């Protein structure tokens, strides 16, 4: 009986995305908008939320006419989004992240305004020292 209570149940490897315990990590559910082509987003992708639909688009995406995209969250796990349906995902809505482990839309550079918007949501960035 004692041996049954003391056994290895899984493994976890440190990927360096979360770089500090403050502010505490918060996880919530959100929906990534379906795409015009199948796309895979990696853990650590920064997303912006549409003011019109409340759906997520990778930071650096161009909003549709009359819409606004505000930096909002960081993706928890690798996720593939297709063309048929929006995908519900877990995202970090607060926490301290290593900027070297996050990503945005190809060709886009995160701006100070983006960092300010994320800080308003209690998402901060701190490099990990070796």
Mind listing the pLDDT tens digit for each residue in 40-63?
999 999 999 999 999 999 999 999
CA atoms of 106 and 61, how far apart (whole Å): 9
Write down the pLDDT at residue 41: 97
CA atoms of 108 and 59, how far apart (whole Å): 8
Q: How far is CA 61 from the centre of its chain?
A: 14
Which whole number is the average pLDDT over 114-126? 96
Task: Report the chain's mean pLDDT, rounded to a whole number.
Answer: 92
CA atoms of 58 and 69, how far apart (whole Å): 10
Output the six-digit token pair for 22: 């403050």
Mind listing the pLDDT tens digit for each residue in 76-91?
999 999 999 999 999 9
Write down the pLDDT at residue 9: 74
């Amino acid at each position: 009986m004692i041996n049954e209570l003391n056994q290895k149940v899984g493994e976890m490897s440190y990927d360096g995305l979360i770089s500090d315990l403050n502010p505490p990590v918060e996880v919530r559910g959100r929906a990534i908008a379906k795409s015009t082509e199948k796309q895979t987003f990696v853990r650590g992708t920064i997303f912006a939320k549409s003011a019109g639909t409340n759906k997520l688009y990778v930071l650096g995406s161009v909003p549709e006419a009359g819409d606004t995209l505000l930096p909002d969250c960081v993706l928890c796990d690798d996720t593939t989004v297709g063309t048929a349906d929006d995908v519900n995902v877990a995202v970090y809505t607060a926490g301290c992240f290593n900027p070297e482990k996050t990503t945005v839309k190809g060709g886009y550079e995160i701006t100070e305004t983006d960092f300010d918007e994320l800080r308003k949501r209690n998402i901060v960035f701190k490099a990990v020292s070796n």
